[in-house]
């Protein structure tokens, strides 16, 4: 079984970044000079998955345009002798194949995934939430594919978070899989709960926005009723899936930024800028000059 498709839900309203997101998708907010959503698409490409299915909505056309060829821009750049930049622009659209489905009502992450059902069809697939920017080589998704290739079950990215922050996440209960090769990173899930209070939370192992799912999830989601926040939650669908199939949680290697949050977005911006070969030195010098 190969994973050939990655679903990227991008229909959310982005209210946490208003007014910046009043007339543009939050997924297009740039970290340094690259839109958030491009980080996720590049992770898909470098994990060897050839196709992205965007679950999009009203006001998100900028995302489609971003991953399409812009003949005018390319012509303009070529005319000005900016060949390298022209090549970079072309590589964005040539990176992968893209498909778009519309989620007509924002009814939650689980509902967004269900919207992609006809395009994904009866095969396992990946899901990436572009709010979670994860920097690592090999990429988080590629690490998870190794688990999938070994067990052919659904795999969820997990990370230990401070206990008082569990209510921002799906949280798992599970036990460590004591098999060689996983360096105590692999958990077999027993249960999970969406956005629990610290008292309710079964652990501090939080779900991060990377999933590999078997197509059984579609049946599970069809039977799922609205949960936390009145939305159809992927976590609740996964809970149903757990009753039928094994599901693994993988503590991935890498630094994760919550770019859906203002502070997390700023942290990602600063740290990613510091790592950039073209900016890092000058930016570090500037930060030092602030004497914070």
| Residues within the interface to ligand G1P (CB under 6 A) | 109, 129, 131-132, 169-170, 194, 206-209, 233-235, 260
Alpha-carbon distances of 257 from 36, 120, 129, 151, 153, rounded to whole Å: 11, 28, 12, 28, 27
CB of 218 to ligand G1P, least distance (A): 17
- Written as six digits, the tokens of 191 are 């249960």
Q: Which is nearer to ligand G1P, 153 or 234 (CB)?
A: 234
CB of 131 to ligand G1P, least distance (A): 6
What residue is closest to ligand G1P based on CB?
170
Q: Where are the alpha helices (DSSP H) in 152-277?
A: 216-222, 234-242, 262-275
CB of 108 to ligand G1P, least distance (A): 8
| Bridge partners for 206 per DSSP | 159, 171
Task: Tell me if 126 sits within 8 A of 3, measured CB to CB.
Answer: yes
Q: Which is nearer to ligand G1P, 21 or 235 (CB)?
A: 235
- Written as six digits, the tokens of 268 are 């990602």
Q: Which is nearer to ligand G1P, 14 or 209 (CB)?
A: 209
Q: What secondary structure letter does DSSP report for 242?
A: H
Cα dihedral 219, 220, 225, 230 in deg (nearest 10): -110
CB of 2 to ligand G1P, least distance (A): 26
Task: Tell me if 157 sits within 8 A of 207, measured CB to CB.
Answer: yes
Stated as kind and residue range, the H or E segment containing 4 is none
Q: Which is nearer to ligand G1P, 5 or 256 (CB)?
A: 256
Q: Which is nearer to ligand G1P, 43 or 194 (CB)?
A: 194
CB of 110 to ligand G1P, least distance (A): 8
């Amino acid at each position: 079984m190969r994973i050939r498709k990655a679903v990227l839900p991008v229909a959310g309203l982005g209210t946490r970044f208003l007014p910046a997101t009043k007339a543009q998708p939050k997924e297009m907010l740039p970290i340094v000079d690259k839109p958030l959503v491009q980080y996720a698409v590049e992770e898909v490409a470098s994990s060897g998955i050839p196709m992205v299915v965007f679950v999009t909505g009203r006001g998100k056309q900028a995302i489609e345009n971003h991953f399409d060829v812009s003949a005018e821009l390319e012509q303009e750049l070529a005319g000005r002798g900016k060949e390298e930049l022209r090549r970079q622009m072309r590589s964005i659209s040539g990176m992968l194949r893209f498909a778009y489905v519309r989620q007509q009502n924002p009814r939650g992450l689980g509902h967004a995934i269900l919207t992609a059902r006809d395009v994904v069809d009866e095969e396992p697939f990946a899901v990436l939430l572009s709010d979670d920017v994860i920097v690592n080589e090999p990429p988080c998704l590629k690490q998870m594919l190794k688990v999938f290739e070994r067990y052919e079950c659904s795999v969820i990215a997990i990370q230990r978070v401070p206990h008082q922050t569990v209510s921002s996440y799906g949280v798992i209960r599970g036990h460590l899989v004591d098999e060689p090769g996983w360096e105590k990173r692999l958990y077999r899930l027993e249960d999970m709960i969406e956005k629990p209070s610290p008292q309710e939370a079964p652990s501090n192992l939080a779900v991060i926005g990377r999933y590999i799912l078997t197509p059984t999830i579609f049946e599970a989601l069809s039977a799922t009723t609205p949960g936390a926040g009145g939305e159809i939650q992927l976590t609740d669908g996964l809970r149903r899936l757990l009753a039928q199939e094994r599901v693994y949680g993988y503590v991935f290697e890498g630094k994760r930024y919550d770019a859906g949050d203002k502070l997390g977005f700023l942290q990602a911006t600063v740290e990613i800028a510091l790592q950039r070969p073209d900016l890092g030195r000058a930016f570090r010098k500037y930060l030092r000059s602030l004497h914070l």
